[in-house]
Amino acid sequence: MILKQPILIGIDWADAKHDFHLLCPDGDAQTGVFAQSPQAITDQLKTWRSNHPGAQFAVAIEASKGALINALLQFDDVVIYPVNPAALAYLRKSHRHGGGKSDPVDAKRIAEFLRERIDELRPLHQDSPLTRELARLSEDRRFAVDARADLANELTALIKQYYPVISGFAAAKPYASFLLSFLIEYPTLDQAQAAGEAKLRSYFHGLNMKRKADHLAKLIMDAKPLTTEEVTLRCSSKRAVMIAEQLKVLNKHIRSYEANIKELLPQHPQYAVAASLPGVAANTQARIIAAMGDGEGRYETAQSLQCASGIAPITEQSGKRKFVSARWACTKFLRQTFHEMAGLSVTKSRWAKAFYEDQKAKGKPANTAKRALAYKWQRILFRCW
């Protein structure tokens, strides 16, 4: 016998085990705990199936990704409802003003929240493998890029403290390959000068710096040391080599991510739309595809996209008091994607540039003007998708 209503399950997840609270349509409730392992999750689902043959299981959980989510997605009779932790925090406080909590009680609250709001909640939608791969590659690449930026800033500050002549290389980027290779080979000024001008010139030729080889070699040979204190030089140079080697590894893997993205992009059904956006290169195109999904279904309206990404402002009103503020409750990577896309479009689209300049002429800061432009672009993208 197939139940008309699904079995509702609230799960309070953790690293090693998960508490659950199960609600049947007739009002009966069951509670329990299962471990975070493939076998334990499969066994628990078998138990639910044997107790409720033919049922669909609606599972609410405070996450949209993770080990438990990955395991549950493989079962056709399980529908996952990601729940915003902030919403549950308010529900929890309404029951316990002092803030006390426990895992079994949290699982019960999640199940009750699902029972009351299931018509308003949206089940977790899994995109096609190609879209999911582009999304993961884009997000992981950006994580590596941010890590590289942090390390490059650290290296720049360190060089100024003991080896300032390196700053005179005027590299386009602080993580330029030739600069990192030179620093690893010659971590102190004494070592570089000991090699001699001819050898330095030859070394720069080997780094494909033929045009600047003479200038850089002479720059090194004419440089005066900032400090000759041995402890400072030994410790600083050791740390500089460590950071430079990390940056070389990050450079390698970022290039690999970008090559994978460029290879996969043209295979996506929505590639033509993403590629038509002005000023947007392959990496941002992949992020747009990941943000929008496979097509219809992820966002019901353009406004839902604008709110989910944090681009739409939020209005608060109480009595005569009313004000508009930025929407911070959103996925930061998603907001960043559209904000950057809007900024890039200004360089290639006359309409985008005119709108952006008009916003600035009204006294809006650059970031606010870009966010307003992103708001417009999202309406266009939603219609195109």
| pLDDT tens track for 4-15 | 689 999 999 988
Model pTM score: 0.83
- In the DSSP assignment, the letter for residue 154 is H
Return the ∠ at Cα 117 (arms to 115 and 123), rounded to 5°: 95
Residues 305 and 327 in one domain: yes
Q: Is residue 122 part of a domain?
A: no
Residues 311 and 260 in one domain: no
Confidence of residue 151 (pLDDT cuts 50, 70, 90): very high
Residue 7 pairs with which residues in a beta bridge? 57
Q: Is residue 213 part of a domain?
A: yes
Q: Is residue 33 part of a domain?
A: yes
What is the token pair recorded at 283?
A: 């990496």
Pairwise CA distance, residues 76 & 307, whole Å: 30
Q: Is residue 125 part of a domain?
A: no
Residues 137 and 260 in one domain: yes
Residues 345 and 225 in one domain: no
The per-residue pLDDT of the chain, averaged, comes to: 91
Contact predicate 258/247, CB 8 Å: no
Pairwise CA distance, residues 18 & 11, whole Å: 7
Pairwise CA distance, residues 18 & 36, whole Å: 7
Pairwise CA distance, residues 314 & 294, whole Å: 28
Average pLDDT (155-159) is 96
Q: Is residue 241 part of a domain?
A: yes
Whole-angstrom Cα Rg for the chain: 28
Q: Which residue has the tokens 């003003």?
A: 97
Residues 305 and 377 in one domain: yes
Residues 60 and 135 in one domain: no
The domain total for the chain is 3
Residues 101 and 137 in one domain: no
**Percent over 90 (pLDDT), the chain:** 71
Of 73, 256, 243, 82, the residue nearest 158 (C-alpha)? 243
Average pLDDT (138-164) is 96
CATH number of the domain to which 45 belongs: 3.30.420.40
Residues 259 and 285 in one domain: no
Residue at a domain's end among 70, 91, 117: 117
Residues 291 and 199 in one domain: no
Q: Is residue 1 part of a domain?
A: no
Residue at a domain's end among 232, 264, 296: 264
Domain that holds residue 146: 131-264
